Amino acid sequence: MRIQTRQPREILVIVPARNESLNISACIEGLTRQTYPSGKRVVRIVDDHSNDDTAQIARAAASPHAGFSVVASPPLPPRWVGKCHACWVGATRDIDDPPEWLCFIDADVVAEPELLAAALQHAEAQSVDLLSLAPKQILGTWTERLVLPCGLYCLSFCQDFERLRTDECRDTSVTGQFLLVRAEAYYAVGGHRAVSDAICEDLALARQFKQHGRRIALFGGRELLSSRMYRDWSSMKIGLAKNLVETFGGSCARPGLHLALSSLPGLLSPYRSWTHGDVLEGRHLPVAHSVLRLPVREPPSDFISRARAFSLFRFGTDSCFHLDIHSAL
């Protein structure tokens, strides 16, 4: 089924990319196949000082397509984090007539053809200023299959999504892999410049929106976009630590989480054979949970059923934290 907004809006898609040579081609290809009118969308890939061939691959993939461009992020100013700066550059450089919507997509995301059309239609129907969609997560290596589901479910358990949805709560929850924002609201709250030193820039930006009275929504988008976030333990450790530190106490939690995550490969290696099955069947996650020793609202015996119940945000009938397991062994 093709989904289109009744009156197509101008949209600028921004893809910050740093050392994404394995992902950027598929990301751009997905954006070239969008059903959203090509005359109403511009795609800008911002190379964030990659030291691999991300920029060259991006230019080769983007050059045949009208409205696609690759720009280099300038030197990082003081008190700026790289991704924040790349997003801000993409949203402000050479903008004479600002679009109505800005869409920030991570370079490891692959978009289905209906993504932009469906997301725009839903954002306008719900009158939200920031719409975040959680991708279907693709897992390959045994480490990904053991650790990442546990990390995602821990994040789900330790956040009260019903409370976060209320206007009274000052906090919120989003995923930075896909953020669709009204341009007027983005510039009014200061955009990424207002959170320039934030490590979890997606959450910081969403909090900025909410503090200014803007509406936010998080939904699962498993039929619209997919992502393989990590391909090795080193990148997984950094990514999980960034998000778990934010969830479990800020900088005070960083040393303990770093130690726990650094120890996981050795602790979990005896269970490598488990990954030939589906790690979401329920018999494996309690073990990973016991190794992490992270608090949850329910005992491990009820881990899977309660995790499903905590998937409160839905796009259609899809769970926000659905995982597809693809073996690369």
Q: Report, as an integer, the average pLDDT of 295-320.
A: 36
325 assigned to some structural domain: no
Contact 121, 105 (CB under 8 A): no
Structural domain total, the chain: 2
Query: Which tokens is 271 given?
Result: 């269970």
- φ/ψ of 100, rounded to 5, equals -80, -30
Same structural domain for residues 105 and 192?
yes
Express as a percent the part of the chain with pLDDT over 70. 66
Report CA dihedral (59, 63, 69, 74) to the nearest 10 degrees. 30
User: Which tokens in the block code for residue 61?
Assistant: 């993939």
Domain that holds residue 43: 11-141+158-227
Which residues, at least 6 apart from 184, have a Cβ–Cβ distance to it below 8 Å?
A: 98, 100
Indicate whether 172 pLDDT > 90. Answer: no
256 in the same domain as 129? no
Q: Verify that 169 and 244 share a domain, yes or no.
A: no
Higher per-residue confidence, 194 vs 291: 194
Band the pLDDT of 314: cuts 50, 70, 90.
very low
Is 207 found in the same domain as 102? Answer: yes
Q: In whole angstroms, what is the distance from residue 39 CA to residue 67 CA?
A: 8
Domain with residue 124: its CATH number is: 3.90.550.10
- Residue 158's pLDDT is 67
Residue 242 lies in a domain: yes
Which pLDDT band, with edges at 50, 70 and 90, does 281 fall under? very low
Average pLDDT of the chain to the nearest whole number: 76
Structural domain includes residue 39? yes
The answer on pLDDT for 249 being more than 60 is no
Q: What is the pLDDT of residue 250?
A: 52
Residue 248 has pLDDT above 70, yes or no: no
286, exposed or middle or buried, with CB in 10 Å at 0-12, 13-18, 19+? Answer: middle
| Residue 105: band (very low, low, confident or very high) from pLDDT cuts 50, 70, 90 | very high
Q: Is the pTM of this model over 0.85?
A: no
Judge whether 152 lies within some domain. no
Structural domain ending residue among the three candidates 169, 195, 227: 227
Mean pLDDT, residues 27-54: 97
3-state SS class at 92:
helix
Q: What's the average model confidence in pLDDT over 228-237?
A: 78
Which of 227, 244, 271 corresponds to the end of one domain? 227
